[in-house]
Structure 1
Amino acid sequence: MASTEEHTEEHMHVVDKPYQCTDSDETDLQNSHILSHLATTNLEKPYQCSECDKNFSHSSNLKVHMTTHTGDKPFQCTQCEKAFSRHEHFKGHMRTHTGEKPHLCIQCGKGFSQSSHLLSHSRTHTGEKPYPCLQCDKAFIQKSNLIRHMLTHTGEKPYQCSQCDKNFSQKSGLNQHHKTHTGEKPYDCKQCDKAFSLNGDLIKHIRTHSGEKPYQCSLCDKAFKQKVSLDQHHRSHTGERPYQCSKCYKAFTGKLCLARHNMMHDGIKPFQCSKCVKAFSLKDSLKKHMLTHTGDKSFQCTICGKAFTHKSTLVQHHRTHNGERPYQCSVCNKAFTGNSHLLSHMRIHTGEKPYQCSHCGKSFSHNSHLTIHMRLHTGEKPYLCSQCGKAYSYNRQLLSHLRTHSE
């Protein structure tokens, strides 16, 4: 009887005691768990992929990995065409449709649909960039950003569109491009009737409703809706202008600014003034021009009282008082109050005439000279005599005519 009791007590002790790992402090009551844990702790990877040389600690990891070879994506989104190999990726994607953002940043309160997005975002607060490029001094918050960056060194574009000859460095870029052929726009704005091909474009658009500007400049108090706008703004502090026009000396802080500038050389002027016959390459140029009709001059000089329609013109005017001429010619050392004056001056040295008349082919060094020349072809006479109603193509003609009244 005693031996039975001793055996029972010994048995109860064994069952009661949890399994303990000799290489760590982990304990677990189930044998299957301790085996799984030991495989991870000892870096044992008994599950080998039959398609490549990768090994895994758990059979579940191998199963997920196999989908990279088979292309199997059993988790299909019911709201768009996307499919996923892993359930957690599918769940994260569904939140882009529902708008659910359960993962909150404790430092700024911003919400994210996936924990991985929160982790990446938290690095914007800490400044941590754990993924350095081995070929240059750049480092990145996310591994995916590093992989994308590496392609700038190799120039590799392995993903080709089957409908046109375009190639892409990333599969995601190809997938996005495909939508330009299909016209598909699965991402709808809940606040207006606009739809978008890409979720990123929808997110940017939503900020036009919310007014959110999450990208703050670290050097001044300006904030922006898009990161690309912040990057471009930073260059206004550093003076960097990496995008240079191949037709003239002008350089720009952003690619879009250069594209808009090129429209001027190409003669594309989609923005028409409703008050006169003038047209402009840029919407901003039209806005500035409209002030010449309204007469609005809200920027006044505190020294002489002269008023201007544009702030930039006032800044340049101030230099006539303080004598500042920060833009110097590298050829003859002549200095100017504005960068545009320097660019115009440089054409004296180069002989460049980038502004060509579309009617007769004559070229000019300044856009204003082309504008004046165009009146020979259009017959436009914007200079009107207030005393007799006569109109003239050029200001000098009007001034000459006005003398006939004074005589």
Structure 2
Amino acid sequence: MNSGAGQRKDAPRPYFFLSYAHTPRINSRGAADPNLWVAKLYQDLCEAILQITDAPSGHPVGFMDRSMHQGQKWAERLSRELASCRVFVPLYSPRYFKSEACGREWHLFSRRSVYQRRPTAERMTGIVPALWVSMEHYQLPRVAGELQFNHDSFGAEYATEGLYALMKIAAFSSEYHTAVWRLARRIVDVAEQTVIPTGQVLDFESQPSAFDQPDTADQVRISVFSYQDRELPPQRSATWYGEQRTDWQPYRPDSSRPLAQDAADIARGMGFLPTVREFDEEAEQLLAGGPPAPCVLLVDRWAFLDGRRSDLVRRLDRRNHGTVAVIEPWNRDDQQSRDHERMLNDLGDGVLPVSRGARRRPSLRDEGGGGTPGSIEEFRGEMERAVMRACTAHEQQQRGGPDDDGPVDRRPSIGP
């Protein structure tokens, strides 16, 4: 990316960039995309701004990232929009301030200079925050706290409940329209009262987050049990694999990045410090004394064809560490896996038998089979639940709960 490149002076500039944290789908097939509510808000804001201004037909009123795609083109597009937009609108939620991507967006915009067209008592920053949900019980990071934005000016119900509740609850319909109109007016006022020159298009992935990072972060280990592309069995194509076992990409073509990277981003967004390793690199440590931090094991069932390595997973299951949560990603669109589904299921049942009924020793697997997400969206939701299961068990262990030699009841106290 050309770090010195800016935007053409005559290029149309969107009024606002809507920055928000993507919400994962509920872990069920066919579940509605929860981010559609943010998309509706975006459309309503664009419509209101078109009514308020004389923006010509075809003028980019705003920008909202709907893709969730990773990679260079995705990052370049975000950087270009952040370098040219006139106002930055962060959509506040607890998930927002845990998102590294949102923190980078805030950082990139705030690097640009802001000049007020006329002196006023209020210092214009070019940032107009909006409440997606109430943040009353959450401490804002320093950069957000310094804005001292008066949310009450958009309406009492908005300030108390946030836009999501106003959209979902029919009784708040008029309050929602009032809040959107006032937010749109605020965006236009800031855009017209300030001069914010276009900025440089910088490398998005290398930017720091604007949000405060804790001095110490809770760790989460992400362990990958899969193949390298050169060690695959004859029945399996190399399409989903790479040079390292951590390069496994089970949800291609929907996601073309290693699954471990997606998992790390999710853990990081929850406030944890993730590490990614091949299962084989840390198997002996896991077997000896258990993980020193909560661990999520990503299991490729195809790797159970390797008897020696699958025996390590079987032994880990028998050690019964509650601080290890297992996810077995299963791409419904992977025809090769579907053709061998019975064989792969039998292999999995042999290595990780499901605990049922009166069986005293729980397995690493959940009885409900919830750890087999069939799509990348389902995986993101399941990853959050797996992190919470492992962390809950780890906290119980730290408080003097069941030791490693006794049976551990891993029925989660949080989530499904």
Normalization by structure 2: what TM-score? 0.22
Larger Rg: 1
Normalization by structure 1: what TM-score? 0.23
